Copies of this chain bind each other. A is one copy, B any other.
């Protein structure tokens, strides 16, 4: 496995692979790798000749009041995980190289970026799409892998890839969960024992939504109201949003018909967690 820090070095390595007609699978991450990431890497390993994992805590996707500085960066551990998983290249660039003085270009997906998480995280998705566009151009993958846990991010990146004609297949893999149902997230390490238990309201609310739909309830207002009740009882938890939207446009749905995305974000203490489920009205 090769650890590459320079953009030029990564670009060159990718060019050589592509010139030989070999395929590249790419897993972009912010590090602090967990089993969710590992499932993406494993799938990339299976589908491609070469696997590239990037580790970059991208400053442009954090607002000033967010946890950029505090975000976990266990780089040695991450590298060991990649090596063990059979990754070929870890691309670990420096922020000053990714965003040099005079940087002023952004890739942005309208509409999709201003709803759900985009409402409370202004500029977040513009930061995500910009860094992903950069990484796509540097790594030149045939396939790129993202987790369904970040459902809005996945929808936005799919849209960008299609709209800007990146010659890349976007693969979205299922959310990986702890045994108790908590979705894997690098931010889970912020939680103390008590908060970890509290965080189970996310999956409980989603399960309730599923059960309600199974019982034939299609009115999303009613479902969201019941989900709110699950969470409202808890101290130390604040709801950011609970939404039921269509899968492509992420626009609120009034009555469930076909597949919808049920998504929510809550603050457990100071930690913001998200989760979602695709629910089908059979």
Contact = CB atoms under 8 A, between A and B. Distances in A.
Interface of A: 7, 11, 15, 18-21, 102-112, 129-130, 133-134, 137-138, 140, 159-160, 163-167, 248-249
A107 B105 CA distance: 7
Nearest to A138: B165
A269 to B, nearest CB: 35
Contact of A11 (B7, B107, B165): B165
A166 B108 CA distance: 16
Contacts of A106: 107-108, 110
A129 B19 CA distance: 27
B167 A140 contact: yes
Given A7-B165, A19-B19, A138-B165, A110 B104 contact: yes
Nearest to A135: B165
Given A18-B18, A19-B21, A165-B11, A109 B102 contact: no
Which of A102, A137, A138 is the most central at the interface, judged by chain B CB atoms within 10 Å of its CB? A137
Nearest to A14: B167
